[in-house]
Amino acid sequence: MIDLASHFCAQLLLDKGLLNADQLTSALRIHMEQPSLRLTDALLLFGFISFPSLHPVLREVHHDQSIGRVLVEQRYLSSERFEEALAIQERDGGELVDILDELHWCSRKVFAEAQAIAGKRQARRERWNALLQRVLPAPLAAS
């Protein structure tokens, strides 16, 4: 029997009622046989979950993904290490900063700098969206 509780994202999917234990066990078995295939990819491949259903859970698990993108863009972190850190976060839970610091891939100071950049980008996007909603008709602003 596969321990479903050993995978943070899997536990969230179960808790939210998006999957049953049999579906998750099948996907975990494939993931364990082919570790390069993420559990979430296996779930999508089998058709056990749709991306629109999975996306909010992934956002909950990887809430600071935009910071990781900044780290890659600024060349503080390789995209391979970023993907690996996300996989660890998806499996074990926890904060991205803690994972990167524990692996000695990125200091907390550099992470904080990336967080500031990501925050400025988010604020700019929000201002832009607010402007679009005031200027464009409702159906166009929503798309």
Cβ partners under 8 Å of residue 142, min gap 6: none
Provide mean pLDDT across the span 9-13: 82
Residues 70 and 117: beta-carbon distance below 8 Å: yes
Neighbour tally for 40: CB within 10 Å: 22
**Per-residue pLDDT at 138:** 59
Cα separations in angstroms, 131 against 117, 124, 134: 21, 11, 5
Cα angle 70-123-102, degrees, rounded to a multiple of 5: 35
One-letter amino acid at 117 equals I
**Does residue 141 carry a pLDDT above 60?**
no
Confidence of residue 36 (pLDDT cuts 50, 70, 90): confident
Q: 111: how many CB neighbours lie within 10 A of its CB?
A: 24
